[in-house]
Structure 1
Amino acid sequence: MIGIRVEEQWGCLTTTPFFFALSVHLKLHECKGLRGMRRFPSIKDNCEFRQIYESGRTRADRNLVLYLCFRSGGDSRIGVSASKKIGNSVVRHRVTRVLREIFRLHRHAFTSPCDLIFVVRKDGAKQDYRTLEASFLKLCRAQGILEEARC
């Protein structure tokens, strides 16, 4: 069913058509608190990738290459680059999901906010979670951004 809503927006009265069913559906989701979810801190813009490639520090092992650039404020962010050379889209997305999960679990241990870009090598696409996590942590420790565990 279609209706007309009159509301004040920036000091002006506006009339907008809307669907009653859609309005009720959106109100239900607002009550459940789904609007409070935060976006995953990732690097998506090509210009940001290029800037970090050019000005960032680099470390590598047989599975991953890490490019690192420190930030002045905000949260740490991650970007993953997995080319078609390592496999089809299923393989590329699996590695991306695994790296993002490893980042999510360990980002509280970073000493300062930074942008991380991981380039997946061909051997890295064949590895399991534990091996990728070990590579991730080794590269972050080599860059000095991961605080050591306190025993």
Structure 2
Amino acid sequence: MKKEFRVKKNKEFQEAFKKGKSFANRQFVVYSLKKPDQEHFRIGLSVSKKIGNAVTRNQIKRYVRQAFHELEHEIHNQYDYIIIARKPVADMEFHEIKKSLMHVLKISKVLTKQMPGNNDK
């Protein structure tokens, strides 16, 4: 995932928290904020120190970025997504994380229709 597709600034995180819509399951909270002037979605990640050591937190972030990369063509552009990982994520493998993210994104109605034959690889 290219760096220009990431939300980095605290001000942008706070704007998504205040103006965006939030959806959650047991593993993730996702805030989505519509940005009509941008061509590609951006993601911001938050993984608390309560979840594990730096290695674990960085691995979770890599898994989430990879899941978004694989779902890139099914996610609505013109949005900023803030993903907050919850404790159960620490014990999950990549495919479980991807499935959980897909679940919360379906709840938030930001996934376009699933392409036939493009379920879990």
User: Deviation above 2 Å: which 4+ runs of structure 1?
Assistant: none
Instruction: State TM-score, norm by structure 1.
Output: 0.71
Task: Give CA-to-partner distance per residue, 1:11-39, whole Å, 9 cap, x none.
Answer: xxxxxxxxxxxxxxxxxxxxxxxxxxx53
- Does residue 111 (structure 1) correspond to residue 111 (structure 2)? The answer is no
Return the index of the structure with the highest Cα Rg. 1
User: What are the within-5 Å matches in structure 2 for residues 24-103 of structure 1?
Assistant: 39-72=3-36, 73-103=38-68
Structure 2 unpaired stretches of 5+? 117-121
**Which position in structure 1 is the counterpart of 2:119?**
none
| Cα distance in 1 between the residues matched to 2:61 and 2:98 | 12
Name the count of aligned residue pairs. Answer: 114
Aligned twin of 1:27: none
Give the CA deviation at 1:104.
1.0
Structure 1: runs of 5+ lacking an equivalent: 1-37
The answer to which structure has the higher strand fraction is: 1
Which protein, 1 or 2, shows the higher relative CO under an 8 Å CA cutoff with sep ≥ 6?
2
TM-score, scaled to structure 2? 0.88
Give the percent of matched residue pairs that are identical in Structure 1 and Structure 2: 28
Deviation of 1:40 after TM superposition, in Å, equals 4.9
**2:106 maps to 1:138:** no
